[in-house]
Amino acid sequence: MEVFAADIRDFVRRNDLAGAVVVNVASTEPAPVGGALPASSLYAAAALRADCPYVNFTPSAGLHHPALAEAAETAGLPHAGRDGKTGQTLLRSVLGPMFRQRALTVRAWSGTNLLGGGDGAALADPAAAAAKNGGKERVLTDTLGAAPEGEVHIDDVPSLGDWKTAWDHVAFDGFLGSRMILQTVWQGCDSALAAPLVLDLARLTLRARQKGITGPLRELGFYFKDPVGDGPAALAEQYADLLTLAARLRDDTGAEGPDGGGGGDGSDGGDGGDGVRDRRGPHGRPDPQGGRDQHGSEVRR
């Protein structure tokens, strides 16, 4: 562990950086058995020793290991996770609340994932696939109020490379018990879906550190299948939490920011003191996802 921490410190020193954020994007590990720390937890502990915030973009244990609970609590650093929400589960976190709010009783929800690349190879291991599916199941339980029948099957298709296809079959009851079905198909490029989320997470976590925020960043649940803390599971509510955090992280005082940059309110499209261009949503609120606001002002996505 100390060797890993020394490597992180050396990376910061060699690149003349003010600091670093450690983000785990490694292949999924099986759930840990026994007291030995898996690799993801060793690197998470090393990040804390190197005085770096930590983000777990995988379903692996990382800081979730019981042996690291005290270290995570006392390190005085922000951390976030776990398991990036980029495709099938992103869609589930939107559809689950819809069914519940319309009083449509979900009887069964089954899915299949076809993927290649390193993820496909790693998830061919049943133990790793089981760890991955835990987050997918949690989203349905949290948004529907109970886990419906059905499973997610993950198949490794090497020829797909970085692309993945996710099929969902949802059986539900409507008015007077009318039985209906919703089927969805999600096809996406895994890296292109994940990369902007990792960039957002690194920048938001670094800014949280600069603002003196410590502990689990539950407001970043928008990005994760199995988020830390007790935040909401529905995507719309998670996004509202994210906007609240983004507003908190901005420096509107006009004073010098924690990194030595100017503060300012960012209304002219400049920095908010954190080296991140201010991005506004349609109602003038900070929008971490970017786009164009209702006035046509360009904000980066």
* CATH number, residue 221: 3.40.50.720
- Of 154, 169, 190, the residue at which a domain comes to its end is 190
Closest by CA to 166, choosing from 176, 177, 152, 179, is: 152
Q: What is the mean pLDDT of each run of 10 residues along the chain (301 residues)?
A: 95 96 94 88 97 97 93 96 94 96 97 89 83 82 94 93 96 97 96 97 97 97 93 95 96 44 37 41 45 41 36
Whether 111 maps to a domain, the answer reads yes
pLDDT on residue 275: 38
Domain span including residue 73: 2-84+193-245
Residue 144 and residue 291 in one domain: no
Residue 29 and residue 152 in one domain: no
Residue 230 and residue 166 in one domain: no
Q: How far is CA 82 from CA 61, 73, 149, 233, in A?
A: 9, 16, 24, 13
pLDDT on residue 277: 38
pLDDT on residue 283: 41
Residue 95 and residue 31 in one domain: no
Whether 250 maps to a domain, the answer reads no
User: Residues 6 or more apart from 24 whose CB is under 8 A from it?
Assistant: 40, 43, 44, 54, 55, 56, 57, 58, 60, 62, 81
- Indicate which CATH number applies to the domain containing 102: 3.30.360.10
pLDDT on residue 294: 41
pLDDT on residue 297: 39
pLDDT on residue 229: 84
pLDDT on residue 123: 84
pTM for this predicted structure: 0.80
Backbone angles phi, psi at 52, to 5 degrees: -120, 135
CB 60 within 8 A of CB 40: yes
Q: At what angle do helices 190-210 and 235-249 cross, to 10 degrees?
A: 40
Number of domains in the chain: 3
Residue 109 and residue 134 in one domain: yes
Residue 115 and residue 162 in one domain: yes
Whether 43 maps to a domain, the answer reads yes
Residue 269 and residue 223 in one domain: no
pLDDT on residue 252: 57
Residue 100 and residue 28 in one domain: no
Interatomic CA distance for residues 5 and 37, integer angstroms: 15
Residue 159 and residue 31 in one domain: no
Residue 180 and residue 52 in one domain: no
